[in-house]
Structures are given as structure tokens and as C-alpha cells.
Structure 1
Amino acid sequence: MSHPRPDLVPDPDLSRAEMETLQREIASVAVFEDDFAFDPDAFSNPLESAATGTEPPVVAGVDQSFLTNEDGDQDRALSAVVAMQGGEVIERIHAVTPLEIPYIPGLLSFREGGPILAALEALSVDPDLFLFDGNGRIHFREAGIATHMGVVRDVPSIGVAKSLLCGTPQEDIDELPAGSRVPIEANSRVDAPDGTRIGYAVQTRQYDSPNRYINPLYVSSGHRVGPETAADVAHDLTSSYKLPEPVRLADQYADEAKKSSSR
């Protein structure tokens, strides 16, 4: 896979101010609306694709794990990618690369973006859509890792995060029933006009017990996918677990590959 925007590849040697400037440039060219060739309904109606003889879209989940050195410090990133088509895994790849900077809130792509791009170089299939374990437009400068990677590759992408980085939910998000979604709008922490819809809290699963509940996922446009479609796809790709299957399996594969890489 090539980089249509090599000028926007994350450079960990930039200063913090330069990184933030680059993120604003990425956000300015990102497309936060639907601009793709696949049929998103194929994720909710896979049997229909089979009945019509249409090839279902290929969707790839991307997740990260980390390896430590003898001192117990994280010094390498393991980037895992799982590609699925019609609910079946068709390829799994990973890459291990050095970590060059520490974790800095809001600048995750400069720590993990290079390792992810290295893993994507090894991918033989050409996914129609990428789901990243991380944010897209729900980000201080509207350029989370899903947006950054999506723009660099110019591929449709979605961010799926487990916690809310910024923005304001428009309704109470505690103990939502499964299938619910609540709009997330920009606030003063986001480089967008107040009230801009930057994503959704999506309740993919929920316990039946009144004494236990599952928190929602925070789903946002990465690139070339609108917020409503992103929420739909994240929900439709979820089965028995909270996370969409491509991301869940990438997380599982990252742990599996980490064990073999640590030997």
C-alpha cells in the first residue's frame, strides 16, 4: 500500500508545536463525510451480498501492543492488522518497530503512526475500510490516529475509542440500552465551532442485569466516512462483544503476537 500523502506521515522528531500544526493541516484536508465505493449495508445484511453475488467489503481492524526491554520500559510497538471479509478473517499481519517518543495525550499518532504504517506495508489485501483502536475526529485538533492514518493512506477510516477524549455528549450516556447512540459535539477543547457533531457514543452491547453495565464506545469519522455511517458500521460489525469484530480480533492477535515476539 502506498502513501498518497507522504508529506503528512507522522514524524516523531517534530516539536510539539510542529506536531499540532501538522494535525491541523491533516484535519483541513480530511473528509468527514461519506466518500467510498463499498456498500455499508453489507455489514448489516451479509446474506444479501451473498444472495446477489456481490463481493462483501474488506474491512481491517488495527490495534497496538507494546514490548518492553530488560529494564521494563516500553521500547517497541507491535502493530497488528486483521482483515475480514464477509465475517471471515482473510489475513493477519503484524510488525514490530522501535518506539521513538513517549505517550503524549492528543499526539498518539506520532508515537504509533509509524509502526502502524510499517504493518500496513506487509498487508497483501486492499481493504475497503479501516477501523482503528483510537480516535478520529473526536480529538482536540480533529485529527486522531484514525484521521491521520486515513489521510496519509487516503482510505476510508473510522476511529473506535473506549474513552472520551474531548467533546460533549448531548444526552446522558450512563447505562444506555444496547443499540443506543448519543451525538458528541465539539466544545471549547476542540478546534471546531461549538455544536459541530464530531462523533457518537455508541452502545454496542449491554448487560441484562440492573447492577452491571457496559460503557459505550466513542466512534468518529477518520477519513471519507461520515459520523452517522461510522456509528452504523461500528454497531453492525459488533457481535457478542463490545468492540467491533475487526478491532477485537486485532487486539487479540496483538496479544498473541506479543507473546511470540517476547520469546
Structure 2
Amino acid sequence: MNGPPKLARPDLVPDPDRGRETMEAQQRDIASEARFADDFEFDPATIIDGPLATPDEDPPLVAGIDQAFLDDRVISAIVVSRGGEVVERVYAVTDLSIPYIPGLLAFREGGPILDAVAELTSTPDLFVFDGSGRIHFREAGIATHMGVVLDVPSVGVAKSLLCGTPTRSVEGLAAGERVPIESDEDVTATAGERIGYAVQTRQYDSPNRHINPLYVSPGHRVGAATAADLVLALADGYKLPEPTRRADAYADEAKSLVDD
């Protein structure tokens, strides 16, 4: 194990003490540095098609990141797995200095995430965040911000749509379906540009019950279509992809330990 990824852009580490205009300006800088196209060293087929379909290649190390909150502190949890097997779990406890502001999540929670990243002994090939990537007003959600700061392939998985417009209804989608999300007047990208997907990872069989889709977008060094493919493959029968589902559970576990 080679240890955590180093800060590739320490100048872009989110600073919660900055004013809103400065934060938004930095997000535009982040978006200009981000690469919303596939640029990674692992074979995505080892995840999408599975290791049985690619017997000569090892699956990549995938890190799921999620957080839990305790008073004015945040527990940032990272679970790293390879081919479904957990290889490392770490967490960090950090004081929060600003409240949640829509569109500026990285300035509240990005620093704490970097604290947890510093605890890693492994070097993940892919980071999956509980939050948006390019589906963001300034194309720089937390998955994009962290991806650029660390220069790592990253994907954002959000439970609700922050901005952008689906190309068709996302109601009652069947498991495995996806609907493109295009930029609109709320997004800095060119109007109509594909910035992510609504992805239906799981659905009830009953017509009277529905599971809402996830909103998947590229963070950095991953294309939109590949991000959707990866999240579908990583869902493994649950709504949330396995990396963030495990990170969510571990964050709650760590919260109980810290609370004690």
C-alpha cells in the first residue's frame, strides 16, 4: 500500500473562512481545472462487467466517502474495497466552522474529508462521494472539488437533483434505467450539455411503491456515461452504491464510538 494521495492543488483546498463571492470564484476555477472525461489507469470493465469477465486484471481500489454529524463536529468516513472486499476503513473527526449553504458544501465538509483521506494507508484508484460532482451550479460539487484538489478519478452520487434538467421524466424508472441530466440556465455549462444522469439502481416490483433515482455526475477524470455505468455496477442490489453505503454505515459506527 502506497499511502493516501497527496494534495495536487493545495491552493484549491476549500477555506471555510472565505466570503461567498470568493468561494464561488474558486469553484469556477475548480471547474476549469476539472476533466469530465475518462482519464484513469484501471480498466472500468473490471467493475462494470465484473472480475469474472476480466480474469487477467485485478479490480481497482474503490473508496466510498460519507459523513455523520455530532453536534458541531463531523465524522468523515472512508471505506476502501477491491472487488467487493473491504481492505481499509478510516475516519476523522473535525470541528465544523460554517453552516450548510446550498452549492457551497465543499467549504463546510471538504476539509474534514481531506483529514480522513490523510489517514489512508492505501491509494484508491476511484473515489465515490455522497454528493454532487458536475451537477452543480458552477460545475464544482464536492466530488469535483475534492477530485481536483487530490487529482484523483472521482464520481458524485447525490440523492436529490441540485440543478440541471432531466431529458424526460424520472418517475417510476425501472432498475437499470438512466435519464440524462442537461445543463440549464442555473448551470455555468453550455445550455443542453450533458452533466450527469438520473440513475435507477433499484426499484420495487409493486406499482404502488417507488424508489427515487440517484443523481450521478462526474467529479474529475471520469466521463458522465462511465460514472453512471460504474454506479450501476457498484449498487449490488441496493439503492446506494456499495462504496458509499459502506461508508455511511461506518460513519454511523464511528459516531457511536466518538459519542461514547
* TM-score normalised per structure 1: 0.96
Match of 1:38 in 2: 42
Match of 1:57 in 2: 60
Match of 2:83 in 1: 86
Once the two structures are superposed, residues 141-191 of structure 1 have per-residue CA deviations (whole angstroms, 9 ceiling, x without a partner) of 000000000000000000000000000000110000000000000010001
Match of 1:154 in 2: 151
Match of 2:14 in 1: 10
1:223 Cα deviation from its structure 2 partner: 0.1
User: Does structure 1 retain, via aligned residues, the 8 Å contact 2:152–2:220?
Assistant: yes
1:104 Cα deviation from its structure 2 partner: 0.2
**How far apart, CA to CA, are the structure 2 residues paired with 1:228 and 1:124?**
30
Residue type of the partner of 1:220? S
User: Does structure 1 retain, via aligned residues, the 8 Å contact 2:46–2:58?
Assistant: no
- Secondary structure in 2 matching 1:48: coil
Q: CA RMSD in A?
A: 0.7
Residue type of the partner of 1:192? A
Residue type of the partner of 1:25? D
Task: Please give the residue correspondences for 1:103-252 in structure 2 after superposition, counting only pairs within 5 Å.
Answer: 103-252=100-249
Q: Which runs of 5+ in 2 are unaligned?
A: none
Residue type of the partner of 1:246? P
- Secondary structure in 2 matching 1:222: strand
* TM-score normalised per structure 2: 0.97
Identity of aligned residues (%): 65
Q: Which runs of 5+ in 1 are unaligned?
A: 69-74
1:23 is aligned to 2:27:
yes
**How far apart, CA to CA, are the structure 2 residues paired with 1:47 and 1:82?**
23
User: Does structure 1 retain, via aligned residues, the 8 Å contact 2:131–2:158?
Assistant: yes
Once the two structures are superposed, residues 187-223 of structure 1 have per-residue CA deviations (whole angstroms, 9 ceiling, x without a partner) of 1000111101100000000000110010000000000
Once the two structures are superposed, residues 91-120 of structure 1 have per-residue CA deviations (whole angstroms, 9 ceiling, x without a partner) of 000000100100000000000000000000
1:48 Cα deviation from its structure 2 partner: 2.9
Residue type of the partner of 1:207? Y
**How far apart, CA to CA, are the structure 2 residues paired with 1:86 and 1:197?**
29
